[in-house]
Amino acid sequence: MDQADTERCWNLFLAHHRQLQVYVRRLVDAEHDTTDIVHEVALRLLNQPSVPSCNESFGAWCKAVARHIVLQQRRTLRYRRALLTEIDAARWSDAWRAESLSTVRLAVIRQLNDIDPLSRELLLRRYVLEQTSDEIARDTKLSSAAVRMRLMRLRDALAESLGDSDNDRDHVATSRRRRRARSARYQ
């Protein structure tokens, strides 16, 4: 743009300045945001090589640019909030993780010491040695169904003893009742 076009665009901008401020104020909450957005429109006007020269389309152009700036700022703000929320969640969830895991480990060890040796052997073979129920049945002289049933009961008992809240116990009890009802149907 040459000097004459720049002056003409600037004069048009000054003529539409008040209307643009009112328009932007309806789009955003804070007063300082309104001023910043109007200034951003002015900067884009001066940097834009082809700006509408007629009065009607100039106002529409300014409003479209302002709307675009507002929408872009909202997207950026939403993204930053989501990112900060994610970072906070990761930071706070990991803060107690080590302590929580050590508490669970101690509780599991206590429970393993309280169960009978065959049940302990079944748990260790299944979850430490990662053997299948058929392999465990072959080594322990139990049927595969008996191994699976015993492991299921052990998991329920461990979950019930490790559950901290009544909701956990209710969930375990409900799931246990559902399993019993299912197994009763097939017998």
**Rounded Cα gap, residues 25 and 34, in angstroms:** 6
Dump pLDDT digits (tens) for 56-74: 688 888 889 999 998 888 8
**Domain map (residue ranges) of the chain:** 3-95, 97-185
Q: What is the pLDDT of residues 75-99, one digit of tens each?
A: 888 888 888 877 776 666 655 566 6
pTM attached to this predicted model = 0.44
Pick the CATH number of 97-185 from 1.10.260.40, 1.10.10.10, 1.10.3720.10, 3.40.190.10: 1.10.10.10
**Residue 166 scores a pLDDT above 50:** no
Using CB atoms within 10 A of its CB, is residue 41 exposed (0-12), middle (13-18) or buried (19+)? buried
Q: How far apart are CA 160 and CA 172, in angstroms?
A: 6
